[in-house]
Structure 1
Amino acid sequence: MGVVNVTPDSFSDGGLWFEPEAAVAHGEELLEQGADILDVGGESTRPGAERPSQEEELRRVLPVVRALTSAGARVSIDTMRAEVALRALEAGASLVNDVSGGLADPGMPGALAGTDVPFVVMHWRGHSADMQSRAVYDDVVADVCRELRGQVDTLVEQGLRREQLLLDPGLGFAKTAQHNWSLLRHLDALQGLGLPVLVGASRKGFLGRLTPLPDGRPRPAADRDAATVATSVVAAQAGVWGVRVHNVRDTVDALRAVAAVEDAP
């Protein structure tokens, strides 16, 4: 899953693809590099980020969704708003990636109930402005699995089918670096919930702190791709459904190498 951020303030590449033409060109480039799905989002969810209005989010994403689906891409809409999800689906998107797992907008479950649209349910404890204050767990793996299981049950009660749901542990969302590493170490526990798993570690802060600059500052987001590729390999070897990344080419190369080793006699 290749990331297409149509935002001015995303932590990794905010502003680079903000104009629709630039975002579409970037998405087409990611397709050429081997992306299976393009995840188009118009709201930054970096720690501390403020939310755009619904109208602004729609203005950002709809032209990009239309253009990329017209070009033959499978598009996921990355949104927490039911209206944005519905409008994007009308424009050609075929998957909804909601980082709140249906919690931010009470209308989201009803909007997708009775459809076949795949819905990514991410582990979430609150909006970006204050989510890190909620990074408190007794056992992060057990707690995340329990909370995701509960949200799945709630969504099924609200009319979605288990078969259309995918899970995301929410790395970096109300998580410390150690929480993220523990979740990556125990992806089998998430797999044990019986639903496909999407992992989104790409360029996140905990990777930058793993290999800091000489002065101790975290490595810049654009310099975290090697660590990202390593987490993608770990996720692939755990059997996850997909990885959400900014650098598609290097990820695809690494996963092909792993597959070649696994397929060798």
Structure 2
Amino acid sequence: MLKSAIYGLAVGDALGVPFEFKKRGTFTCKEMTGYGSWNQAPGTWSDDTSMTLATLDSIKETGRIDCEDMRRRFCDWLHRDAYTANGETFDVGTTTRIALERGQGLDDYHANGNGSLMRILPLAFTEATDEEIRAASAITHAHKLSADACVDYVHLARQLIRKEPVARDEIKNKSVDDIQSTGFVLHTLEASIWCLLNTTSYAEAVLTAVNLGDDTDTTAAVVGGLAGIVYGYEGIPKEWIDELKNKGLIDSILNK
């Protein structure tokens, strides 16, 4: 199930990369494409997957939630192109960059982008406490909103891992016009839940997320991880997995 979650996140990320920053209704994503916003080849994933892989690698190597080790790996990604799809780091969030350069997370209200939410999924497969989840968020995003969003997301992922029903009708019943897909952490969390609850397949969930526009790669990555858990690895279209870049890196970390 970890494999399906990580691949679900990476595929969603790669689907969204070419459309990032584009406004809803100005495009339609139906398949894995490339170039566009970042001029990257089809199947190229971005910071969402890179930081998720760094988080997972840290957990696999240390056997615990070691925030200093995670920080070092994030810095390897930022400064030395580690954990990337093609040897190039791109699409780095402002809060993430500043926090890693300063050596401490930002805790002001304006530092509530989705840069910790997008990488927190591996903790759902551990016994991490809420305090440890918040600490992992705070490596970069230390405000309570971001930390609490990460806790909520990990709890939701664990529900899905246990195959428990998810009742979030207050989100599910919203119209698409009421769903925002900006980089604000609460928008991303709500949009990902909305996409999951209003679709019936992995492909439909992530394509719905991309087509919301704006922060397309992160919204699709966040719901893609959840949809991977729900629908399994076999539920992810094979042609999308085939196009995904640097699967060797993903598999090497998963198989540690």
Q: Select the structure of larger CA radius of gyration.
A: 1
Q: 1 or 2 for the larger relative contact order (CA 8 Å, sep ≥6)?
A: 2
Question: Which structure shows the higher helix fraction?
Answer: 2
TM-score normalized by the length of structure 2: 0.37
TM-score, normalised to structure 1, is 0.36
Between Structure 1 and Structure 2, the one with more strand by share is 1
